[in-house]
Amino acid sequence: MKGRFLDQIRIMLGRAPAKPEVVSEAAREIHQMKRMTKADFEAMKQHVRDHQLEKHTWRNRRWAVLIFANLLFTFSFWLDIQMLEGALTASRFVGFHLIDLNSALQVMLAHKHIIVNLFIGTATVFLLWVMLGGRTFCSWVCPYHLVAELFEALHLKLVDRKWVSDHSFHRGARTVFWVIFSLLAVVTGYTVFETLSPTSILSRALIYGPSLALGWVALLLVFEVVYSRRAWCRYVCPIGLTYGMVGTISPVRVVYDLRQCFHEGDCRKVCLVPHVLDMVIKGRSPEVKVPVGPDCTRCGLCVDTCPSGALKFEVKGLNELL
């Protein structure tokens, strides 16, 4: 268990997933059972697909929460009701200070010492994302995630028509950028990342009105549409890595059930971080039930897409009691 936990951390930092060296006896039996003739296996997969209903349950819930959270900032400012003041970087909810973990880290690195009030302000946010899963922030709160998701649909249409090609980069680039932005904060005494972060730019624009910085966001979206799918979130943004580390012990997770999987691969096609679903590849699952790794954004797209229900949300400990 400890070895698998450390392996998930390494994969989140950029290492490529590998076929498991140890496979449980129960999982091995299921893998063996699935070694039927190709024609029979394809017939089973087709049967499941034919009876699959297109659903967007989790996507719709996620969009609703994300839009509500960001508009709450906007209306609190416009109506001056002091319910949720500030922006995603730093805010105050009915008197309780909430400070983004990555932003707090950047500020403390820039000032080169631990700021006690800032440290205290991160406690509530830290506990929240430990409980929900760190990268839940990315898909359920971050405004750029929603915008990029909508533009991703355009990118995929252009790829299908062969008007553009999708280019990928090494996932370890995100770890490198995390280090670079941290070093820039230390060296310059300025939070460089906050200036470039589309999350911060869009949050401020929604609340205080548009600025020239939106031009930078537009350039990122154009790059993602014509060259590399979701490039900022996958290969650059250090927020995802910071919150991924926070969520390593989260009880809320997506769990894969080998017994119900037909390995059709639709889940990996829609996933923002498909490396976390490496276990769905035929012969890769080390156990009958495997929790998806900490780099998962809990967006629910794979749960909605899976035709056989092999991927589901679970709360660790709670499901065992039910």
- Please answer whether residues 76 and 82 qualify as being in contact, where contact means their C-beta atoms are separated by less than 8 angstroms: yes
pLDDT digits (tens, 9 = 90+) for 221-237: 999 999 999 999 999 99
Write down the domain spans for the chain: 2-15+39-53+251-317, 58-245
pLDDT at 8 over 90: no
Report which of residues 111 and 201 the model is more confident about: 201
Among 119-123, 208-212, 284-288, 311-315, the least confident range:
119-123
Residue 191 CB contacts under 8 Å (≥ 6 apart), including other chains: 103, 106, 107, 110, 185
**Tokens of residue 117, six digits:** 């009030």
Instruction: For domain 2-15+39-53+251-317, give the CATH number.
Output: 3.30.70
CA distance 273 to 185: 27
Read off φ and ψ for residue 253, nearest 5 degrees: -160, 165
DSSP state of 293: P
Residue 36 has what pLDDT? Answer: 56
pLDDT digits (tens, 9 = 90+) for 263-306: 888 899 999 999 999 999 988 888 999 999 899 999 999 999 99
Query: Which pTM was predicted?
Result: 0.88
Average per-residue pLDDT for the chain: 87
pLDDT digits (tens, 9 = 90+) for 106-155: 888 888 777 776 777 788 888 888 999 889 999 999 999 999 999 999 99
pLDDT at 43 over 80: no
- Please answer whether residues 92 and 117 qualify as being in contact, where contact means their C-beta atoms are separated by less than 8 angstroms: no
pLDDT at 1 over 70: no
**Tokens of residue 65, six digits:** 């929460």
The confidence band for 321, taking pLDDT boundaries of 50, 70 and 90, is very low
Residue 48 has what pLDDT? Answer: 58
Percent of the chain with pLDDT over 70: 90
pLDDT digits (tens, 9 = 90+) for 159-173: 999 999 999 999 999
